[in-house]
Amino acid sequence: MQIGIIGLPNVGKSTLFKAITNIQVDINNYPFCTIEPNVGVVEVPDERVDNLAKIFNSKKKLYATIEFVDIAGLVKGASQGEGLGNKFLHNVREVDALVQVVRIFENTNITHVHETIDPKRDMEIINTELILADLETISKRLSKLEKETKNTTDKELLRKKELVEELKTILDANDLTKVQNFIKSLGEKDFILIQDLHLLSFKPILYVFNTTSPESIKEDLQKFNVKLDKNKYLALDIKTEEELLELDDSDKKELGLKSELSSLISKSYALLNLIVFLTTGEDETRSWSIKKDSTAPQAGRAIHGDFEEKFICADVVTYDDLITSGSRAKAKEKGLIRVEGKDYIVQDGDVIEFKI
Ligand SMILES: Nc1nc2c(ncn2[C@@H]2O[C@H](COP(=O)(O)OP(=O)(O)OP(=O)(O)O)[C@@H](O)[C@H]2O)c(=O)[nH]1
Ligand SMILES: [Mg+2]
């Protein structure tokens, strides 16, 4: 799973990347400091792994990971090749979801490419570029589809054309929420028909407002007339998050500072529709991230490519049941370990033993 960090130049994307990954990158007070994307893998902290490892005396603890990509700044006209235009859009196309950094912090020493603080305008600039790039993709596809459907009775192809036309109308309205609602409303068959367009506006977006006072984000959003569901955004003091990297736990305690980055990870999980299952034993305890609503064989694929095919059944116990029982044997005695077949939908926190 890859999450791309996007936004206007000089808003704090690389600073956020550094704070999350602890990887040293170029951070400078000038636009387009980042050109080549920075990529970093982050372990997703999960105390369930720590607790299970204790009970099972595991030699190793391994956590599910998530990849962050720090992408170059995007400016108005990127879809027409302005700034780092096409290169930028190519990098965006490769990731599964987006974190859009939006500047709220005021500081006359830090250049803002549009001079004033206006998160609503900045979000619109970015989202419009994503939509314009998609419209270009769509119009190319549409002219191809028009040729292909001239003398055809192929129902799938005709339906595809219909869907692409509908998408074009929605994209023309320049409203990302409408596009995302449209995608959500599609049945699986229809979705498969348009999936190969790889549209940028299909990607879920989490907005990260970079502010010196995260506690007053609600008032700020109201002031700037930004309307967003609360699960779609997060307020972070990115510069402070970066500075926290330098401090050890006791310093942080003394100064009364606490990192809020874990909520970035958990909101990203929700955004990507991911859940975690666990495996545990003497060798290792490990968390694995999978798409919500995965069946047991699909979940097995996270562990090994051929687990799906060779799946026989799975012994499943919930994390809570296993912890309160204290051991697998006790859980078994109490009848808390279930044998599940290939149609079982894995739940967050399931501890699984695959039989292949
Ligand atoms: N005061 C303040 N400065 C910040 C904050 N976040 C970032 N900066 C500063 O803003 C400048 C730009 O930060 P970067 O993280 O390089 O920004 P970027 O979005 O990666 O910029 P590009 O790579 O050029 O697109 C640096 O001088 C940072 O130190 C913040 O929360 N508050
Ligand atoms: Mg940067």
Per-residue pLDDT reduced to its tens digit, 230-261:
889 999 999 999 998 888 888 888 888 888 88
Q: Which candidate, 292, 286, 248, places its Cα nearest to that of 270? A: 292
Instruction: For residues 204 and 273, give the distance between their C-alpha atoms in angstroms, rounded to a whole number.
Output: 10
Q: How far is the CA of 45 from the centre of ligand 2 (A)?
A: 25
User: In this predicted structure, what is the pLDDT of residue 82?
Assistant: 63
Residue 210 near ligand 1, beta carbon < 6 Å: yes
DSSP 107: -
- Per residue in 172-204, pLDDT (tens digit) is 998 888 898 898 898 888 988 888 888 999 898
Which two three-digit tokens encode residue 10? Answer: 């000089």
Which two three-digit tokens encode residue 94? Answer: 């490769």
The dihedral through the CA atoms of 328, 332, 334, 335 has a sign that is positive
Residue 238 near ligand 1, beta carbon < 6 Å: yes
Residue 38 near ligand 1, beta carbon < 6 Å: no
- Cα angle value 142/164/101 (rounded, 5°): 110
pLDDT at residue 88 tops 80: no
User: In this predicted structure, what is the pLDDT of residue 220?
Assistant: 94
Contacts of 12 (CB under 8 A, 6+ apart): 101, 103, 105, 210, 238, 239
DSSP 79: G
Bridge partners for 210 per DSSP: 103, 236
Q: Which long-range contacts (CB under 8 A, 24 or more apart) does 36-41 make?
A: 36/72, 37/4, 37/69, 37/70, 37/71, 37/72, 37/91, 38/14, 38/69, 38/70, 39/67, 39/68, 39/69, 39/70, 40/67, 40/68, 40/70, 41/65, 41/66, 41/67, 41/68
- Specify the range with the lowest mean pLDDT, choosing from 52-66, 220-234, 247-261, 270-284: 247-261
Q: How far is the CA of 7 from the centre of ligand 2 (A)?
A: 10
User: In this predicted structure, what is the pLDDT of residue 81?
Assistant: 66
Give nearest CA residue, ligand 1 atom 12: 10
Atom index in ligand 1 nearest the CA of residue 212 equals 31
User: In this predicted structure, what is the pLDDT of residue 251?
Assistant: 84
Q: How far is the CA of 211 from the centre of ligand 2 (A)?
A: 17
Q: How far is the CA of 281 from the centre of ligand 2 (A)?
A: 42
Q: How far is the CA of 29 from the centre of ligand 2 (A)?
A: 9
User: In this predicted structure, what is the pLDDT of residue 312?
Assistant: 95
Give nearest CA residue, ligand 1 atom 16: 27
The residues of the chain that CATH labels 3.40.50.300 are 2-268
User: In this predicted structure, what is the pLDDT of residue 26?
Assistant: 83
User: In this predicted structure, what is the pLDDT of residue 168?
Assistant: 94
Atom index in ligand 1 nearest the CA of residue 35 equals 23
Which two three-digit tokens encode residue 289? Answer: 């991230």
Tell me the pLDDT of the chain averaged across its residues: 90
What does residue 278 show for φ and ψ, rounded to 5 degrees?
A: -125, 150
- Per residue in 324-343, pLDDT (tens digit) is 999 899 999 999 999 999 99
Its CATH class, for the domain covering 293-355, is alpha beta
Q: Which candidate, 8, 241, 251, places its Cα nearest to that of 110? A: 8
User: In this predicted structure, what is the pLDDT of residue 262?
Assistant: 84
Give nearest CA residue, ligand 1 atom 4: 239
The residues of the chain that CATH labels 3.10.20.30 are 293-355
- Is residue 102 classed as helix, strand or coil in its secondary structure? strand
Select from 11, 15, 100 the residue to mutate for testing ligand 1; criterion: most ligand atoms less than 8 Å from CB: 15
Kindly state the average pLDDT of the residues 76-80.
73
Specify whether the backbone of 256 is left (phi greater than 0), alpha (psi in -120 to 50) or beta: left
Residue 34 near ligand 1, beta carbon < 6 Å: yes
- Structural fold of domain 2-268: Rossmann fold (3.40.50)
Instruction: For residues 93 and 131, give the distance between their C-alpha atoms in angstroms, rounded to a whole number.
Output: 12
Residue 281 near ligand 1, beta carbon < 6 Å: no
Give nearest CA residue, ligand 1 atom 13: 12
pLDDT at residue 126 tops 70: yes
